[in-house]
Each structure stands twice: as structure tokens, then as C-alpha cells.
């Protein structure tokens, strides 16, 4: 799409260098110098990773690699180390390239074997492409976290009812942060490897599901417990080695069912957690499930695939409708609060699209009311700063989140060399009678920070509250003060002051 048509041209310019976004007031984004301490919110936990914590998770990966680096040792030792660290095939590739270090017959034999394996792999990939993608490639491509392998935070999940968050770090530990409580329980388990997703159970204060390499761990973390390191016995293990690695989780809105999925496997598993029983629902096409999203009304389940299609399931009889012939695989999607509209984005296309579904009925309404429509072109746009520099915002979409009022929608863009990921675009939205997207403003962090993860906090009484995980390990809040349309219908603005004392109280 042409950048000249981008809706981002209609946005106010982003904050200047040395400034960061503070809040939205009177429909405008406000900023302040980033040399000042970032304001925190009294009723929400302050989450800032220490440099020691970030460095510790970095060292975990660096040490594993350094253990196998060659330091001038003999060729045969280097080949053996490569075999142990990266496998037999990598060892033969290295022998093939070391013509002057090994006998010619060994090098030529390895070269023939490598060629045959590559040919077989190429043929197989045309039929089973996802089976050959590595776990690291999966995490980079399908996680709704920018630069997942280097991000200090691998996943974050806000509780749907209370002000607390679960945060997964790169060392596979999960930390629980509470509002007004310095106690931060740390969850660790021998099976808690390659943590890719976190999900709190609705209508429960203590149950957290963790997506791991070979299983789903369901932790029971009592809010009143004083244990900093809850015992592994408080975690249920839902074994799903056939679905490895598990990368996406979704609870039904009533908390009765948990769904797990993986891009490598063409099925979803529907878990009855108390019974630790999982029912496999296979898909005939699609080559895996890259991510899941339950509609807020519980009647539909969205499943994206690595191919140019996605599905919308009816959760009453677990039947689905395919949406195919897309421009590319779906990269992000979000349901409206009433479950009537699905906004999504696709790989290779800088745009947002929407599909409307019927509301109510008997729960079988997975057929859309109409075809998908183009909501907005978000192609990259350049902005001139006061110091003469040029910054860019927009591009391919990495994550879409919608607030509980249905009046604010935030979009995070893919990491790229132009730095578009340092801005989050916020739109003003209406759902009824027509779906409409209007320019809002940009959210920017401190100098040098890029956006890693975005989420709207649930149940905000003064408008909306956006949380942004920044590349520095800081979790920032952006309050958006406005009167939701639904409240205007129930009370006059004279009786509702969005800036009155409440959960959005600042402290420095």
C-alpha cells in the first residue's frame, strides 16, 4: 500500500526527542521530558526489572554458547563440540567447509550426505513446512512480543479482575506483581522451559496457566500466601508433548475451559483442567495454529495459522468457518468487547481489516455478516523532528489490543531497521452502528526505548489504561481519560468527572 494513503498522516506528530508520552486528556496525547521520573499509578503495581535481573537472563544464553566456542583447539575437537552443541548435520556441514583440515574422502563424503539431506528437506518442506521451522524461529515470528529472543520480558499477562500481573523472564521464571504489595512470588518448575504465553483464569484469583515447551503448567498462587517461592506441588501439569512447543493459551470467559496450541501442530487441545483431560480438535488444513483468541462473549474462538488463512470456531459444537485467500498469514487480531467485530492484520501488508459477526443467538454464529473490510492503511510515515532528524512510524503490525470500552485500540509495529517499533499508535474507535477508526496519537517511551509488548488494563473506571513493556525492561502506564459512550447514556457528564480521584492517581 502507498504511504501517501496511510491514516498515520492524520495523526498528531509523535513526541520530540527527549520526551515521552504521559497520558491522554481532552482527546490529545500529552508528553513530558523523559529526564523526569516516570509517574506511577497508586492502584497498579510498579514493574521495573533491575539491570542485575536483565544481565542474569542474558548470561544464561551467552554462557551456553560460549561453552562450545572454539579457542584454537584441534579440528577434530571443534567438530566434536559442534556435534554435541548443534547436532550431527551441523558437524558434517563444518567438515565440508574445512577442506584443508580433513582428508579429501571425508570431506567429499560429508558433502554428498549434506546435499542429499538438503534435497530431502526441501522436498519435505513443500508439504510439511512447519515441521522444519526451529523453536527460535517460531518465537520470533509468532509471539506478540517484539524481538522475543532478546526481550527482557518473554510474556506478560494482566489479571482480568484485579490489579496484578504475571511476568515471564528469559530465564523461564515467572514473577507475580501485586498492587500495593512488595511481595513478588517467583514461580519455577523443572518443566517450565521456553515459556511462551501466560493466561490468568477468569473468575479466579489464583489460577495461572503457563505455556511451556512440552506441557502447560497450571499454577495455583494464593493471593494471601506469604511464600516467595511457591512449591512445585501447587502446579498441575497438563502434558502435551505431541504439541511441542506450546505457544498460545486462551481461557474461555467463564474459566471452564483452557485452549492450547502450537504453530507446529495442526490441532488445538481443549482442556478440562480439574480433570487434567484434553480433547484434541484437529484441523484439516492450515499447517498449525500460530495464536488463539476467545471472543469476550465466549461464543467464538479465533485461530490464526501460519498459512494464508484463519478460522473462527463456534464454541457450542466446535465447528468452524475458514477465512482463506488472504494476502498473507494473520499476524495479529483482537475482538471488540462485545465479540461482534474482529480486527486483524496480515503479513506483508501494512493495514488493519475488520470482520463483523452476529451477536447473540444460539452460539452458532461464526458466519460473518459481511466480507472483511479495510479499516485503515498504516503504511510507514516519516515525521520531521525539531532538531532536523527524521523518525518513522507504522509498518507491519505485530500486536493489536482493544480496551474494555471499545473506544480505544492500540497497535504495535514490527521491529525493523527504521525504528518504527519505538511508537505505539492509538486509535479512537466506534463499533455501532458502524465500525470506525479515527486517528488518536502516538505513545513513545524514553530515549532509546522500543515497544516490546502492549496490553489494556481491564475494568478501568476513568476511560482506558494502556500498559507498554519497553525494551529497557520498564513497564509504563498511559492513562487515557475520556467518558465512555455507554456511561454518557446512563449519567450526565456533570455527575462524572474523569479526572476525579480514583485509580488514576499519580505519584513520583
Q: Which of 115, 141, 119 shows the shortest CA–CA distance to 130?
A: 141
Strand partners, 31: 21
Read off φ and ψ for residue 311, nearest 5 degrees: -125, 150
Q: What is the pLDDT of residues 267-281, one digit of tens each?
A: 899 999 999 999 998
Ranges of the chain with pLDDT below 50 = 59-72, 124-129, 492-508
- Rg (C-alpha) for the chain, rounded Å, is 24
**How much helix, strand and coil, in percent to the nearest 5, is found in the chain?**
20, 35, 45
- Whole-angstrom distance between the N-terminal and C-terminal Cα of the chain? 43
Beta strands in 306-458 (DSSP E): 310-314, 319-323, 330-335, 341-346, 349-356, 373-377, 381-384, 390-393, 397-402, 408-413, 423-430, 436-444, 451-456
Q: What is the pLDDT of residue 505?
A: 46
Report the predicted TM-score, pTM, of the whole model to 2 decimal places: 0.82
Gap between the Cα atoms of 41 and 462, Å rounded: 13
With contact defined as beta carbons under 8 Å apart, do 372 and 355 qualify? yes
Closest C-alpha to 169, from 192, 137, 141: 192
Alpha helices in 38-182 (DSSP H): 51-66, 75-86, 88-97, 104-125, 135-142
Q: What is the pLDDT of residue 492?
A: 47
CA dist 296 and 315 (Å) reads 12
Whether the upstream peptide bond of residue 433 has omega within 30° of 0, thus cis, is yes
pLDDT in tens, 176-213: 998 877 778 999 999 999 999 999 999 998 999 999 99
Give the span between the Cα atoms of 87 and 85, in whole angstroms.
Answer: 6
3-state secondary structure 435-470: CEEEEEEEEECCCCCCEEEEEECCCCCCEEEEEEEE
| pLDDT on residue 136 | 86
Amino acid at each position: 500500500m502507498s504511504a501517501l494513503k496511510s491514516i498515520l498522516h492524520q495523526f498528531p506528530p509523535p513526541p520530540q526527542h527527549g520526551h515521552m508520552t504521559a497520558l491522554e486528556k481532552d482527546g490529545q496525547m500529552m508528553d513530558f521530558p523523559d529526564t523526569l521520573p516516570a509517574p506511577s499509578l497508586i492502584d497498579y503495581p510498579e514493574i521495573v526489572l533491575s539491570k542485575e535481573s536483565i544481565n542474569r537472563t542474558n548470561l544464561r544464553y551467552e554462557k551456553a554458547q560460549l561453552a562450545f566456542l572454539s579457542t584454537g583447539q584441534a579440528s577434530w575437537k571443534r567438530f566434536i563440540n559442534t556435534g554435541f552443541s548443534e547436532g550431527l548435520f551441523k558437524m558434517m556441514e563444518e567438515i565440508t567447509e574445512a577442506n584443508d583440515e580433513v582428508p579429501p574422502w571425508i570431506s567429499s563424503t560429508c558433502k554428498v550426505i549434506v546435499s542429499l539431506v538438503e534435497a530431502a528437506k526441501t522436498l519435505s518442506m513443500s508439504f510439511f513446512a512447519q515441521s522444519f521451522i526451529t523453536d527460535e524461529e517460531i518465537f520470533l515470528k509468532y509471539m506478540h512480543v517484539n524481538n522475543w529472543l532478546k526481550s527482557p520480558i518473554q510474556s506478560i499477562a494482566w489479571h482480568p479482575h484485579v490489579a496484578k500481573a504475571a511476568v515471564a523472564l528469559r530465564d523461564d521464571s515467572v514473577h507475580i506483581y501485586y498492587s500495593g504489595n512488595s511481595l513478588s512470588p517467583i514461580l519455577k518448575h523443572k518443566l517450565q522451559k521456553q515459556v511462551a504465553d501466560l493466561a490468568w483464569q477468569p473468575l479466579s484469583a489464583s489460577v495461572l496457566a503457563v505455556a511451556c515447551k512440552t506441557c502447560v503448567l497450571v499454577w495455583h498462587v494464593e493471593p494471601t500466601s506469604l511464600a516467595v517461592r511457591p512449591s512445585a506441588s501447587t502446579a498441575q501439569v497438563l502434558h502435551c508433548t505431541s504439541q511441542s512447543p506450546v505457544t498460545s493459551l486462551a481461557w474461555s470467559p467463564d474459566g471452564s475451559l483452557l485452549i492450547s496450541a502450537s504453530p507446529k501442530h495442526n490441532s488445538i487441545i481443549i482442556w478440562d483442567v480439574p480433570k487434567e483431560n484434553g480433547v484434541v480438535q484437529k484441523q484439516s488444513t492450515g499447517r498449525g495454529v500460530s495464536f488463539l483468541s476467545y471472543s469476550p462473549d465466549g461464543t467464538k474462538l479465533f485461530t490464526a495459522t501460519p498459512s494464508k488463512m484463519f478460522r473462527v470456531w463456534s464454541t457450542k459444537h466446535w465447528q468452524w468457518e475458514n477465512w482463506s485467500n488472504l494476502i498473507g498469514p494473520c499476524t495479529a487480531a483482537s475482538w471488540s468487547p462485545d465479540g461482534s467485530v474482529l480486527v486483524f492484520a496480515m503479513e506483508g501488508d501494512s493495514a488493519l481489516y475488520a470482520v463483523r459477526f452476529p451477536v447473540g443467538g444460539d452460539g452458532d454464529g461464526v458466519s460473518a455478516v459481511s466480507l472483511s473490510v479495510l479499516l485503515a492503511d498504516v503504511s510507514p510515515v516519516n515525521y520531521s523532528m525539531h532538531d532536523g532528524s527524521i523518525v518513522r512510524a507504522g509498518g507491519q503490525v505485530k500486536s493489536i489490543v482493544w480496551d474494555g470500552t471499545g473506544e480505544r485500540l492500540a497497535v504495535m509495529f514490527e521491529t525493523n531497521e527504521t525504528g518504527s517499533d519505538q511508537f505505539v499508535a492509538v486509535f479512537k474507535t466506534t463499533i455501532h452502528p458502524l465500525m470506525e477508526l479515527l486517528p488518536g496519537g502516538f505513545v513513545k517511551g524514553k530515549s532509546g526505548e522500543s515497544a516490546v509488548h502492549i496490553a489494556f488494563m481491564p475494568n478501568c473506571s476513568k476511560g482506558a489504561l494502556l500498559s507498554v513493556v519497553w525494551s529497557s525492561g520498564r513497564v509504563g502506564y498511559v492513562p487515557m481519560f475520556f467518558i465512555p459512550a455507554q456511561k454518557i447514556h446512563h449519567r450526565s457528564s456533570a455527575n462524572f468527572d474523569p479526572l476525579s480521584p480514583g485509580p488514576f492517581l499519580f505519584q513520583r
